[in-house]
Amino acid sequence: MTVFCILILICFSWFYFRSNLQITEFVERESELRGYLEHSPYLTHVIVFLIYVIATGLSLPGAAVLSLFIGWYLGFSRGLILVSFASTSGATLAFLSSRYLLRQKILDQYGDKISKINQHLDRDGAFYLFSLRLIPAIPFFLINLLMGLTPISVRTYWWVSQIGMLPGTAAYIYAGSNLPDLSSITNSHASAILTPQLIAAFIFLGAFPWMAKLAMKFFRRTNDSDAI
């Protein structure tokens, strides 16, 4: 759904604003960004890391688009490491804010969901949080806030979130890392831009929630069979 919305936004922007768009201006901005990364790599990585932590910590929208951008900007390996730790750091900040600062406000608004989550945690433990991270039945920002009001420890919340969000993060970063540079777009035909890697990345991104859901059902069924 996120990828579909992004594509719709891109198409709408192109057809509506194309008479006023000058691709050379965007290419120049891209060159500046690449220049920052080349001349100040450590500072650039720190800034990008902090931006992602703030965005997730404050539950701001657009984390998916930001992940795609970081994959495009930093590449797959560096982007994956940075976003993986930044997303978990931001989620933990939101978790701590919920536990120590926003408790009553969140209880007033989502008190009914808290009791359901506690029931699942009592039954499945950390595996329940893992399944929520892998298959976001509840939006991630809401998971961060609601989990802060449960008995789960910060340490458990951190490592389960780190592992649970990693596959989805990898999917977004891989898709972003296969997006072409703007200079390539200006100098290539559509057939050169839509590479098999890029097409495969977006197919995987769209199919990932479905695949994760099937995997979790299989895992639960296996556990239930072993328990009998």
The pTM (predicted TM-score) of the whole model is 0.76
Kindly list the averaged pLDDT for each block of 10 residues, start to end, along the chain of length 228: 45 43 57 87 94 90 86 93 96 93 85 83 86 80 90 93 90 85 58 63 69 67 56
pLDDT at residue 89, as a whole number: 96
Nearest to 145 by CA among 55, 52, 57: 57
How high is the pLDDT of residue 103? 85
> How far apart (Å, rounded) are the C-alpha atoms in residues 51 and 179?
21
Is 144 in contact with 167 (CB distance < 8 Å)? no
Predicted confidence at residue 132, as pLDDT, reads 85
> Could you say which DSSP state residue 178 is in?
T
Spatial separation of the C-alpha atoms in residues 180 and 70, rounded to whole Å: 13
189 DSSP 8-state letter? -
